[in-house]
Structure 1
């Protein structure tokens, strides 16, 4: 964990402060919403919705820790009514919370999608295992480069982490396309497709944020762009994605309940 660079402007500090605060609010409110919706979906989809809430709950906890660490690392003050000055306190900013969060939540994100699709049991088990391991490996390979300043080392670990990343993206785009078309209604199939594409879109943000320091940006500006970029990507990949998981569960529950009523 490298020390924070000196020289933050108030705007750079405040942008990160607000992005982290937004992350807490989005993840926390999403958790409450998902778990309140449990009685409104059938038993088959409650596990997926519970996992969705667990993902955002874990993210809420880690965003609180990151936010508190960010605040503790700086002293922000204004003298004689002038502009706010931002100074380092010497306390470390622990950004490793992000990787701990991703290591726990990224496999769960893929598992909740597989579960809500309600594939055959053997296919469900196989996809959960393969995608869960690949996504955890992706996160584990990315961390050693994230904490390095040496560009060659950062590129090396970035390239390694992109191998399981590409496997997961390929599985989402190609491997699950046939299963998507077998959903019980056109609306459910459309929502599953949207969830797959949102996952890919939000995940594509992470490798580009990762290489911010590799392409010439440095100092406080690079740090700010990293924190804001990762925060926005997390909200899309967890809270917004979770809303789609709930919508899929709700739609498929309605279709199944309608089928039971017609059968009677």
Structure 2
């Protein structure tokens, strides 16, 4: 179904599409000529993140990936389900970027991605399910528990492994990890007070704008911080991952 998008929502989605597209082109240009296989992974993964987000935002701008859900006692909600499809693909890739930077083992990567997928899937169920506010908030709480567990792995296991990297690599990891923690913490807060929880303190246009700003910061901003210094990426040691693979 193609929905009509207008007003602040359309402006926000248009800015999101343009911002993600600019980031994608910039990351492709930054990665040109990179011959080292390990460093090239950073450029490929980061470009995929913004490339997928560009397509998702363009589809939402065109009115695709939007549905209406009738919530008992609350009326009809307009849900951008394409946003969850985007997050389901791009947020694990962001975690893979961090894991590559930390030189972590595959087991830690699997835990991070598993918790992340659980968080997004339950959050999507809370958004699109035709259930009342109580159930939606309960599902939000479950999704938040997945997020808390993910933060624990990020702040403990992944950070401990990143500490074995060189000083500059460890410092870059800390910056990107903190960026992800702060930005990702804002998402469930916006969701909670937005329209999808049915609390509705934040109207749909503002909610769409806030998610767009968070997405640009978490994907394009993250990517520029990661890829801007080739000499730092050159110091990354994949030894932990290699040892696990062996």
Return the alpha-carbon distance in structure 1 between the equivalents of residues 229 and 146 of structure 2.
27
Are the equivalent residues in 2 in contact too, given 1:134–1:164 (CA < 8 A)? yes
Are the equivalent residues in 2 in contact too, given 1:138–1:165 (CA < 8 A)? yes
1:173 to 155, 160, 172: 155
1:241 to 207, 217, 222: 222
The aligned length equals 222
What is the match of residue 53 of structure 2? 59
What is the match of residue 73 of structure 2? none
Structure showing greater radius of gyration is 1
TM superposition shift of 1:248: 5.9
Superposition pairs of residues 159-170 of structure 1, within 5 angstroms: 159-170=141-152
Return the alpha-carbon distance in structure 1 between the equivalents of residues 81 and 186 of structure 2.
19
Return the alpha-carbon distance in structure 2 between the equivalents of residues 146 and 190 of structure 1.
37
TM normalised by structure 2 equals 0.80
Return the alpha-carbon distance in structure 2 between the equivalents of residues 41 and 215 of structure 1.
50
Aligned residue for 2:234, secondary structure, equals: helix
Return the alpha-carbon distance in structure 1 between the equivalents of residues 215 and 178 of structure 2.
15
What is the match of residue 74 of structure 2? none
What is the match of residue 81 of structure 2? 96
Return the alpha-carbon distance in structure 2 between the equivalents of residues 181 and 249 of structure 1.
19
Range with bigger deviation, 58-67 or 187-196:
187-196
Which segments of 5 or more consecutive residues in structure 2 lack a partner in the other structure? Answer: 68-76, 238-246
2:150 maps to 1:156: no
Range with bigger deviation, 39-48 or 205-214:
39-48
Superposition pairs of residues 116-195 of structure 1, within 5 angstroms: 116-119=101-104, 123=105, 125-147=106-128, 148=130, 150-184=132-166, 186-195=167-176
What is the match of residue 25 of structure 1? 18
What is the match of residue 233 of structure 2? 252
**What value does the CA root-mean-square deviation take over the aligned residues?**
2.9
Runs (4 or more) in structure 1 with deviation over 3 Å come to: 213-216, 247-250
Q: What per-residue deviation string (whole Å, max 9, x for no partner) do you get for residues 109-149 of structure 1?
A: 10121113333xxx1x1122111111011100011211356
TM superposition shift of 1:100: 0.8
TM superposition shift of 1:196: 0.2
Return the alpha-carbon distance in structure 2 between the equivalents of residues 94 and 158 of structure 1.
15
Superposition pairs of residues 14-93 of structure 1, within 5 angstroms: 14-38=7-31, 39-40=33-34, 42-69=36-63
TM superposition shift of 1:180: 2.6
TM superposition shift of 1:42: 3.2
Return the alpha-carbon distance in structure 2 between the equivalents of residues 231 and 194 of structure 1.
21
Aligned residue for 2:200, secondary structure, equals: coil
